[in-house]
């Protein structure tokens, strides 16, 4: 069984809360994140505790669920590794995988994002570097997750893993 949650707006729709709830209530085997990257993020309240995530999938609260970040998602290695460390009690490091083809957000992308008046004023960018990183990715100028040694232990072919999981009847 495969369920998909899609946002039809530009964020702030509650996708993270819905996914977190579904993952806990329905005990999914896998949660796979698509989308852009670490923009504004998701706030989840569980057992009276508030958790804010920008990079890792919001289904991380269920310790039995494997977590995947798909190839279309931009990765900020600092945000990714910080969230794994910050939420260590959920054993995320042992459960999360990143597609080797994910684009990488570098410091230069954040500087370009924050320095562009059009993005800042008209688009109201979060300043996370997603726009410029996607621009570089489209131009084939950006780095990929496979180019970042700190991410090596998390890399996989997410599409292949999800196809295998579907063949095995896993719930995601």
Catalytic residue among 26, 29, 42, 47: 42
Question: Around 141, how many Cα atoms within 13 Å sit in the side-chain half-sphere?
Answer: 10
Q: Is 109 a catalytic residue?
A: no
Query: To 5 degrees, how large is the angle CA 114–CA 148–CA 11?
Result: 40
- Give me the numbers of helices (H) and strands (E) for the chain, helices first please: 7, 6
| Residues whose CB is less than 8 angstroms from the CB of residue 31 and which lie 6 or more positions away in sequence, other chains included | 19, 23, 57, 58, 59, 60, 65, 66, 67, 68, 172
Q: Which two tokens stand for residue 16?
A: 């993270």
Question: Is 42 in the active site?
Answer: yes
Which amino acids are annotated catalytic?
12, 42
């Amino acid at each position: 069984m495969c369920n998909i949650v899609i946002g039809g707006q530009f964020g702030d729709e509650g996708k993270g809360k819905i996914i977190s709830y579904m993952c806990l209530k329905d005990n999914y085997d896998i949660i796979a994140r698509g989308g852009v990257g670490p923009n504004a993020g998701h706030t989840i309240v569980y057992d009276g505790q508030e958790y804010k995530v920008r990079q890792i999938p919001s289904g991380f609260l269920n310790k039995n669920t494997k977590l995947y970040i798909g190839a279309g998602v931009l990765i900020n290695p600092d945000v990714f590794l910080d969230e794994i460390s910050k939420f260590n009690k959920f054993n995320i490091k042992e459960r999360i995988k990143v597609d080797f083809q994910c684009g990488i957000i570098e410091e230069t992308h954040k500087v370009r994002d924050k320095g562009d008046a059009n993005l800042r004023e008209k688009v109201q960018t979060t300043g996370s570097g997603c726009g410029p990183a996607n621009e570089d990715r489209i131009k084939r100028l950006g780095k990929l997750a496979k180019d970042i040694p700190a991410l090596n232990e998390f890399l996989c072919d997410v599409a292949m893993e999800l196809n295998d999981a579907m063949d095995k009847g896993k719930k995601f």
